[in-house]
Amino acid sequence: MAAQRLECELVTDAKLSATIASEFGAQNGIPEKAWPHLATSILAKLGVQQHLVISSIGSELLLRNIPGMLRAHVVAPEARRLGNIMLDRRLERAEAKRQLREMEKETALTRKKRFGRAGSRVQSFDLVMNAEGLATEQMSDVLDSAVRAKGLLEAGLLTAAAEAQIQFQVRLKLARYGIVPPDRLQVRHKEFGHPSEEVFANLLDFYRIAWDYEPRSFPLQWDKDGKVQEAFTPDFYLPEFDMYVELTTMKQAHVTKKNRKIRLLRAIYPHVNIQVFYQKDVQDLVIKYGLPERLAQ
């Protein structure tokens, strides 16, 4: 929510781990102690190109010498955390409590492996908020004010010189583990192919649902040498639900072609969940949410 409000790129623990895996190879071969350095290297590369909101275990301990950071921590009463688990996993309170303990243990273990200590210290943060007394919207307001008060957006992005210095130090640290950071990092920019995609993205943001735009292409046909001849890239991926969403707002001839691709996708990748929204569905959403009707065209 804060990322959307501040128009920053959200970097989650999952996204960071996935980028580490893709940029540095399989995670199994990377020692956990190297994780903070790998993460620092990636965040520094991203920080030159855009403002970031980082939501990752122990992220307050990353980039500690960089002034343009605001470190915020949100605590929530057990009742709220339990409620979320009960709901997400359809559990009775007792089982939810057991699973919450497991999750807490796992987080502490990850933190210990990565940073050498199981818990976080309040002194590591500039701002600590309690969800018991503050609604999500209010916390977002506070974050927004704090970011603006510190002048983080006006101060601009991480400079190339600062990044070079960070990368130099990271290289020295990673050399111990025999890891060499890549020179260039592929960063995706969100450029929507159709206005309806932007509306759909806004709708997901409205409901605070995390999404990625066209994060993956699925090969559908190969030639005899194994070279991909046809692929399909769904518009959205919703990591929380492990679901892809494709919006189709085009002429019937194109819809038929796209339906064929989706049928192939389902046949070749039966475990991939994909939901298709046709023009009529998009039109219904436009009416339901009171959006400008030109978007359904």
Shortest distance, CB of residue 234 to other proteins, whole angstroms? 13
Closer of 168 and 207 to other proteins (Cβ)? 207
Shortest distance, CB of residue 99 to other proteins, whole angstroms? 14
Distance CA 200, CA 288 (A): 13
Closer of 135 and 160 to other proteins (Cβ)? 135
The partner residues of 74 in beta bridges, in order of sequence, read 129
Closer of 48 and 203 to other proteins (Cβ)? 203
DSSP 50-79: S-EEEE-TTGGGSSTT-SS---EEEE--HH
Closer of 82 and 166 to other proteins (Cβ)? 82
Token pair in block for residue 118: 């199981």
Nearest CA-CA partner of 66 in 6, 182, 177, 156: 156
Shortest distance, CB of residue 209 to other proteins, whole angstroms? 7
Contact residues for other proteins (CB under 8 A)?
Answer: 1, 4-5, 79-80, 83-84, 86-87, 90, 135, 137, 140, 202-203, 205-209, 238, 241, 243, 245, 275, 277, 280-281, 283-285, 287-293
Token pair in block for residue 174: 């990673």
- Chain centre to alpha carbon of residue 262: 25
Shortest distance, CB of residue 173 to other proteins, whole angstroms? 39
Residue with tokens 């709708």: 203
Shortest distance, CB of residue 194 to other proteins, whole angstroms? 17
Helices within the chain (DSSP H only): 2-6, 13-24, 35-49, 78-89, 93-115, 136-149, 160-175, 195-206, 252-268, 279-288
Shortest distance, CB of residue 15 to other proteins, whole angstroms? 20
Token pair in block for residue 1: 């929510």
- Chain centre to alpha carbon of residue 66: 22
Closer of 23 and 198 to other proteins (Cβ)? 198
Shortest distance, CB of residue 256 to other proteins, whole angstroms? 18
Closer of 68 and 83 to other proteins (Cβ)? 83
The four Cα atoms 251, 257, 260, 266 give a dihedral, to 10 degrees, of: -70
Closer of 90 and 227 to other proteins (Cβ)? 90
